[in-house]
Amino acid sequence: MHSSRMQIWHVLHLRDAVDLYIHMVHGVAWIEDGTTGLIHSCHPYIDGSSCLAVMHILKGWGPDDRTVESNGLLFNIDRYVVRDELDRIAAGWCICLGSHPPQDNKDDKKGAL
């Protein structure tokens, strides 16, 4: 049996303290920006210690939205939100079975190079 950390692959070092990761079981990609302390992904997430029920009550996430856990975070793979360049780069690498707009080109990794 593999630990959750063994299922996480460091894919790309973008610049100092900014790195791209993919969870190899469910395919969610995210960028950890050590310069700001932020996580970037095309899927909204909450810290694993937060209450998922609160997100449903506040109508932030739907009751049928699918979530996957990785590295202590719960990602809502049925929602797609890209707000900046690092979110867009993560979206280009995300291979999960969640929501992705049809115009996303998974073969276009140029933004990450």
Q: What's residue 57's pLDDT?
A: 67
CA distance from start to end of the chain: 34
> What average pLDDT does the segment 30-37 reach?
98
DSSP string, the chain: ---GGGGEEEEEEEETTEEEEEETTT--EEEEETTTTEEE-SS-EEETTS-HHHHHHTTSS-TT--EEEETTEEEETT-----SHHHHHHHHH---SS---TT--TT--GGG-
pLDDT digits (tens, 9 = 90+) for 46-98: 887 677 777 766 667 888 999 999 988 999 999 999 999 999 999 999 999 99
Mean pLDDT of the chain: 86
Q: Structure pTM?
A: 0.82
Q: What's residue 63's pLDDT?
A: 83
Confidence of residue 113 (pLDDT cuts 50, 70, 90): very low
Query: For the chain, what are the domain ranges?
Result: 4-112
